[in-house]
Amino acid sequence: MEYSYNDGDLYYFMDSETYELIPINASELSDNFKFVKENMTCRVLSYKGKVFGVEPPNFVELQVTQTDPGFKGDTATNATKPATLETGAEVKVPLFIDEGEMIQIDTRTGEYMGRA
């Protein structure tokens, strides 16, 4: 199902076949949902019509909206710095990543995978 939008504690997902909007309570979402932005396709897990979880895509590409200035050439130490993504999630990225760059994130671990 495609994530459409949220309204308070309810997150709305659209069934791509029927175009029906299904509200899901925030308590049913996992921690890794913080990497999902509007129009991304997720797996909605349900049993007998009751939703018990939502699985985001394994890998997502998101834009870095805030991070400290980068340092070129300092890649031998594997040092990282915090970066805020367009969804509001915070991850650790290498020092050479700058604001505005698109990066790939593994939603299962919340780790930086590379530039997109």
Considering the chain, what is the average pLDDT of its residues?
91
Token pair 């349900």 is found at 46
CA distance 81 to 92: 5
Task: Say yes or no to pLDDT of 78 above 80.
Answer: no
Closest CA to 101 of 51, 68, 65: 65
The contacts of residue 25 (CB under 8 Å, 6+ apart) are: 9, 10, 11
The model carries a pTM of 0.85
Measured distance CA(108)–CA(106) in Å, rounded: 6
Which residues make Cβ contacts (< 8 Å) with residue 12, sequence separation at least 6?
A: 3, 4, 5, 6, 21, 22, 23, 24
Would you say residue 19 has pLDDT above 70? yes
Q: CA Rg, the chain, in Å? A: 16
pLDDT at 42: 95
- CATH code for the domain of 80: 2.40.50.140
Residue 76 has pLDDT above 70, yes or no: no
What's the domain count of the chain?
2
Q: Render pLDDT for 85-103 as a digit per residue (tens, 0 to 9).
A: 999 999 999 988 999 999 9
In a shared domain, residues 78 and 47:
no
**Containing domain of residue 69, as a range?**
59-115
Q: Which of 55, 78, 95 is the last residue of a domain?
A: 55
Q: What is the pLDDT of residues 48-69, one digit of tens each?
A: 988 889 999 999 999 999 998 8
